Structure formats: structure tokens, C-alpha cells
């Protein structure tokens, strides 16, 4: 089943299921709004979704505005260096087994079709296409064997990143730096997964999820040994090789087989000079022909 968060014509936050472009609104089956998104209330309730669907009203696609599948996760956990080819291209001496995980600000989420806003004109920003796991039930210290039972489903995610020496939590937490969606696909619909990431239609990243250094069960188990996970929490599994800079006007797409196609545009409107000094520090990303633009920018 494919679930989505959306706003209706009255700008109310809703959750629904989508099939053949028809949306079924599940929101009215949920307990009253307590400041938590309908999606999180739906996940926390452990409902029989097929039973709810029988009586769910239909909503025309054109009367909705799509939102990030989980608009308000209590946290977004992310895996650094979790593919060997990406480790090599970044000249990293270590990978996830030495680095652990990091946090992205929940306020950085962005919906499918949204606009990634680059904050600075004198820094490099890269796309990182990733598979994201969405947690379905309270999870602490879960074993690898039991981890899959705690996953509700999967979605496409872009871990937008400023390169440099600042802390990852800064470089990856700017508003709009975590596009997600369009849908949250239940785990039962997903098999072996393959990921493609394109910028302006040109393929930059292509990988099998089977190539993860720490596969999903191990990643979820590990994260849950560090911090308690709640329904709707998001875990980004890491990016394959092929990261590269993005610029004003670019279209970035992440596609994962069985999960969907996420598409956003990039804007550098109102970008300012970066106030921090990490530009020439940190892991060294692969060179890219379009970087000339950034070099020129910094001489202004």
C-alpha cells in the first residue's frame, strides 16, 4: 500500500492511501488532532489499513497538495559512508562501522515537487540519493533478526549536503535539505531494491541496496541501541557513489524500484556568503566539471 500526507482544499493536514491516482482519505478514522501529524497518528495506531480503506472517502488528486510522507518526524537519523564505492570517491579512511550515525534536523523535510534552497553562493552543495526507512512502532534495542518487524515502510530521500569541515548536523540540516516521498510504501510491497539518482536527467548514482555496508536490519538495530525510535522516525540508509554539486535551476530525482520517484528543483535565490569557515576542510568530494561556477562565485 502507498500512503501519503497531503493538505486538502481547506489546507487541513490529512493522511491517505493512493492507488491508480485515486486518494482515499483515512484521517477521519484517527483520534483528534493533538499537534501530531495524521501520518504519525496513523502509524502509532497500528490500524488494519485494509479495513479502514473500505469506508474511506475518495479525494480527487487535484484537490490535494502533497506533503512529506512524515511531515513531523521526531528525528531523522542518517548513515554516513555506507557504500564502499562512495567511501572510495570521498577518500574516506573509514565507513559506518567506525563513524556510527548522525542526525538531520526534522525541520529540514521537503515534499516531492518542492524547492531545495541553497543558503550560500560560495559553498559546494551535493545531492545524495538515498533509501529511507520509516519506523512503525516504538523501538529500543531491537535485534537484527527482529528489526524488519519494526519498519513500517520505505520512501525516497535526498540527503542534501554542504561539503566542508562543519559538523554534519549543520551541513545537512538547512531548511529543505531533506526532500522525502512522494509516498510511504509499506514494507510488504518492496522486494530487492535498486536506486537511481539523476540531475537534469543525467544519471549520477546507481546502486543495488544489497550493496549497503550495513544492511537495513543491522542499521535499524544499531540505531535503536543508541536512541529510542518512535513511529514515523526516519532513517536514511546512506548514499552510493556519484555525489556531485547542484546549482540554481537543477532538477534532482531519486528513483527506487518499488518505492517511487522523488523529484525536486534547486534554487539559489537569496543565497548569501557563508558565515562559517569549513570550506577547505573535511572529506574531499570528487571533482566535477561544473565546479568552475563555484570558483568564480567565490571571487566576487
Residue 52 sits at φ, ψ, to 5 deg, of -60, -40
127 binds Mn ion (CB under 5 A): no
CA dist., res. 149 & res. 139, Å (int): 10
- Per-residue CA distances from 212 to 81, 165, 270 (Å): 9, 25, 37
159 binds Mn ion (CB under 5 A): yes
Q: Closest residue (Cβ) to Mn ion?
A: 159
239 binds Mn ion (CB under 5 A): yes
- Residue nearer to Mn ion on the CB measure, 221 or 239: 239
**Count of residues touching Mn ion (by CB under 5 A):** 3
Candidate ranges 43-51, 99-107, 178-186, 238-246; the one touching Mn ion (CB under 5 A): 238-246
CA dist., res. 110 & res. 248, Å (int): 17
Tell the smallest beta-carbon distance from residue 229 to Mn ion (Å): 19
CA dist., res. 251 & res. 292, Å (int): 19
**Do you know the residue count of the chain?**
300
Pairing assessment for the beta strands 194-199 and 202-208 based on DSSP bridges: antiparallel
**Nearest residue to 219 (alpha-carbon basis) of 154, 282, 172:** 154
CA dist., res. 66 & res. 284, Å (int): 36
Candidate ranges 50-58, 235-243, 247-255, 280-288; the one touching Mn ion (CB under 5 A): 235-243
Tell the smallest beta-carbon distance from residue 55 to Mn ion (Å): 40
Binding mask 170-209 for Mn ion (x = CB under 5 A): ----------------------------------------
Beta strands in 37-81 (DSSP E): 58-59, 65-67, 76-78
- Residue nearer to Mn ion on the CB measure, 26 or 118: 118
Candidate ranges 86-94, 157-165, 177-185, 284-292; the one touching Mn ion (CB under 5 A): 157-165
CA dist., res. 116 & res. 114, Å (int): 7
Candidate ranges 10-18, 48-56, 133-141, 158-166; the one touching Mn ion (CB under 5 A): 158-166
Candidate ranges 14-22, 113-121, 123-131, 206-214; the one touching Mn ion (CB under 5 A): 123-131
- Residue nearer to Mn ion on the CB measure, 37 or 178: 178
Alpha-carbon dihedral sign for residues 22, 63, 69, 193: positive
Binding mask 128-147 for Mn ion (x = CB under 5 A): x-------------------
89 binds Mn ion (CB under 5 A): no
Pairing assessment for the beta strands 109-110 and 129-135 based on DSSP bridges: unpaired
Candidate ranges 133-141, 162-170, 179-187, 236-244; the one touching Mn ion (CB under 5 A): 236-244
Tell the smallest beta-carbon distance from residue 236 to Mn ion (Å): 6
**Is there a contact between 112 and 262 (Cβ–Cβ < 8 Å)?**
yes
- Per-residue CA distances from 123 to 171, 230, 239, 251 (Å): 11, 35, 20, 19
- Residue nearer to Mn ion on the CB measure, 38 or 238: 238
**Residues of this chain that bind Mn ion (CB under 5 A):** 128, 159, 239
Amino acid at each position: 500500500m502507498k500512503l501519503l500526507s497531503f493538505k486538502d482544499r481547506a489546507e487541513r493536514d490529512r493522511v491517505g492511501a493512493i492507488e491508480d491516482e485515486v486518494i482515499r482519505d483515512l484521517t477521519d478514522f484517527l483520534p483528534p488532532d493533538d499537534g501530531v501529524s495524521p501520518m504519525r497518528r496513523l502509524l502509532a495506531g497500528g490500524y488494519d489499513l485494509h479495513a479502514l480503506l473500505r469506508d474511506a472517502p475518495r479525494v480527487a488528486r487535484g484537490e490535494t497538495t502533497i506533503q512529506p510522507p512524515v511531515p513531523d518526524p521526531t528525528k531523522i537519523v542518517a548513515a554516513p559512508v555506507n557504500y564502499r564505492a562512495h567511501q572510495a570517491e570521498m577518500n574516506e579512511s573509514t565507513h559506518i562501522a567506525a563513524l556510527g550515525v548522525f542526525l538531520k534536523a526534522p525541520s529540514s523535510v521537503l515534499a516531492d515537487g518542492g524547492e531545495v534552497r541553497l543558503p550560500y553562493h560560495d559553498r559546494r552543495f551535493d545531492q545524495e540519493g538515498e533509501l529511507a526507512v520509516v519506523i512503525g512502532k516504538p523501538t529500543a534495542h531491537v535485534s537484527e533478526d527482529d528489526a524488519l518487524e519494526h519498519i513500517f515502510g520505505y520512501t525516497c530521500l535526498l540527503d542534501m549536503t554542504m561539503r566542508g569541515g562543519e559538523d554534519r548536523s549543520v551541513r545537512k540540516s538547512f531548511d529543505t535539505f531533506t526532500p522525502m516521498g512522494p509516498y510511504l510504501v509499506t514494507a510488504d510491497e518492496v522486494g530487492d531494491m535498486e536506486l537511481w539518482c539523476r540531475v537534469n536527467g543525467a544519471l549520477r548514482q546507481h546502486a543495488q541496496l544489497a550493496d549497503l555496508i550495513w544492511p537495513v536490519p543491522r542499521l535499524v538495530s544499531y540505531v535503536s541501541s543508541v536512541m529510542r525510535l518512535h513511529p514515523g522516525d526516519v532513517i536514511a540508509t546512506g548514499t552510493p557513489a556519484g555525489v556531485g554539486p547542484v546549482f540554481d535551476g537543477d532538477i534532482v530525482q531519486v528513483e527506487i524500484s518499488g518505492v517511487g520517484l522523488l523529484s525536486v528543483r534547486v534554487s539559489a535565490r537569496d543565497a548569501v556568503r557563508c558565515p562559517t569557515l569549513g570550506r577547505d576542510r573535511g572529506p574531499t568530494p570528487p571533482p566535477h566539471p561544473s565546479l568552475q561556477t563555484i570558483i568564480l562565485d567565490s571571487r566576487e
